[in-house]
């Protein structure tokens, strides 16, 4: 059995929703298409498709195998193109995962320019703040902000963003402004629930490095909601410059604790380890480094 050919047949059966349609597209007989999928299932020792007289559907194993088939076949096609021409344009579908707030505020603004550079490349962008498994969920690359957990993924830094302690004028008028990190223990602090450090905020100041355990009534897993709550006077937030820059410039938020520096959040692109980095991932990461690495749009608060 030609495994790559069988994978291509399986892919077309899934995408065209049937053996007959795939056969017409591939200019094969329906029986030949059916046999190739059956042989593929036998080779893998698992059922990929549920078959009825009216329709087919992917099994759980088939869904995962299909996602990997697409990636593998696209990379094989890219490798062929690269071998034929060093200047071959990236093509196929680039599957990207990114945090919700960063994706909406900054990634969305640069995607049109990126896609204009590579007209044969499609982008499938998924935005959420949860931790995703690139391999299990079929992503080519993900944007991660903050400390990286140990993994087999390859990481490349595309930029940085300072974290700032901010609060609204209305909150400061009612509660006063903290002068040292220790004062935060007496304030209502807004917690980002997905931060690895939990409710401890880290600073460097005249007395060296200090960690402060903060508390408050609101915990949120989305940065934009925290910034909105801080702007509404609900408490003090520790947020990245890429989220609070415009709010500080407009006066809706004020930066606190002058003389103390909070940590810097590193922004990485991560992708699965491979001997051959696909052209579509390489050009995407290079583009992000160019846009966010040197002069990021949140530069005024860096």
Give yes or no for a contact between 63 and 136, defined as CB atoms under 8 angstroms apart.
no
Q: What is the pLDDT of residue 131?
A: 81
Instruction: Tell me whether residue 85 is in a domain.
Output: no
Instruction: Tell me whether residue 76 is in a domain.
Output: no
Residues 114 and 232 in one domain: no
CATH number of the structural domain spanning residue 101: 3.40.190.10
Residues 278 and 254 in one domain: no
Q: What is the pLDDT of residue 54?
A: 77
Residues 220 and 153 in one domain: no
Residues 19 and 166 in one domain: no
Tokens of 53: 């007289």
Please state the rounded mean pLDDT for residues 92-102. 92
CATH number of the structural domain spanning residue 15: 1.10.10.10
What percent of the chain lies above the pLDDT cut of 70?
A: 93
Residues 167 and 245 in one domain: yes
Residues 152 and 170 in one domain: no
Instruction: Tell me whether residue 83 is in a domain.
Output: no
Residues 170 and 258 in one domain: yes
CA distance 149 to 295: 27
What DSSP string describes 236-256? EEEEEHHHHHHHHHHTSSEE-
Residues 52 and 119 in one domain: no
Residues 188 and 143 in one domain: no
Q: What is the pLDDT of residue 7?
A: 92
Instruction: Tell me whether residue 49 is in a domain.
Output: yes
Residues 115 and 171 in one domain: no
Instruction: Tell me whether residue 290 is in a domain.
Output: yes
Please state the rounded mean pLDDT for residues 294-299. 74
Number of domains, the chain: 3
Domain of 13 in residue numbering reads as: 3-70
Instruction: Tell me whether residue 79 is in a domain.
Output: no
Q: What is the pLDDT of residue 276?
A: 61
Residues 248 and 292 in one domain: no
pLDDT level of residue 81 (50, 70, 90 thresholds): low
Least confident of 55-69, 171-185, 223-237, 261-275: 261-275
CATH number of the structural domain spanning residue 207: 3.40.190.290
Query: What pLDDT, in 10s, does the model give residues 152-208?
Result: 788 999 999 889 999 999 999 999 999 999 999 999 999 888 765 557 898 998 888
Residues 183 and 235 in one domain: yes
In sequence order, the 6+-apart residues with CB closer than 8 A to the CB of 141 are 94, 95, 96, 97, 134, 269, 270, 271, 281, 284, 285
Instruction: Tell me whether residue 80 is in a domain.
Output: no
pLDDT level of residue 53 (50, 70, 90 thresholds): confident
| φ and ψ of 272, to 5 deg | -65, 145
Q: What is the pTM of this model?
A: 0.67
Query: What pLDDT, in 10s, does the model give residues 106-139?
Result: 999 999 999 999 999 999 999 988 888 888 888 9
Instruction: Tell me whether residue 144 is in a domain.
Output: yes
Mean pLDDT value across the chain: 88
User: Is 299's pLDDT higher than 70?
Assistant: no
User: Is 87's pLDDT higher than 60?
Assistant: no
User: Is 88's pLDDT higher than 80?
Assistant: no
């Amino acid at each position: 059995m030609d495994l790559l050919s069988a994978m291509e047949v399986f892919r077309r059966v899934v995408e065209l929703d049937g053996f007959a349609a795939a056969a017409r597209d591939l200019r094969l007989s329906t029986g030949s298409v059916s046999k190739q999928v059956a042989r593929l299932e036998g080779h893998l020792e698992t059922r990929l498709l549920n078959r009825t007289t009216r329709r087919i559907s992917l099994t759980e194993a088939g869904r995962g195998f299909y996602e990997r088939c697409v990636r593998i076949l696209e990379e094989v096609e890219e490798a062929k193109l690269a071998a034929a021409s060093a200047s071959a344009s990236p093509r196929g579908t680039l599957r990207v995962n990114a945090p919700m707030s960063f994706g909406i505020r900054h990634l969305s603004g640069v995607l049109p320019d990126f896609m204009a550079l590579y007209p044969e490349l499609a982008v499938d962008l998924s935005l959420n703040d949860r931790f995703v498994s690139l391999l299990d969920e079929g992503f080519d690359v993900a944007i991660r902000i903050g400390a990286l957990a140990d993994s087999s993924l390859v990481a490349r830094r595309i930029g940085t963003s300072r974290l700032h302690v901010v609060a609204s004028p209305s909150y400061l008028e009612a509660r006063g402004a903290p002068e040292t990190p220790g004062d935060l223990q007496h304030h209502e602090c807004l917690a980002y629930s997905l931060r690895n450090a939990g409710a401890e905020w880290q600073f460097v100041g005249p007395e060296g490095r200090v960690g402060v355990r903060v508390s408050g009534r609101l915990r949120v897993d989305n940065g934009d909601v925290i910034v909105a709550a801080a702007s509404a006077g609900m408490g003090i937030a520790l947020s990245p410059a890429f989220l609070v820059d415009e709010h500080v410039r407009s006066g809706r938020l004020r930066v606190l604790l002058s003389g103390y520096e909070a940590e810097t959040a590193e922004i990485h692109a991560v992708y699965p380890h491979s001997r051959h980095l696909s052209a579509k991932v390489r050009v995407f990461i290079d583009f992000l480094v160019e846009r966010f690495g040197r002069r990021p749009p949140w530069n005024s608060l860096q």
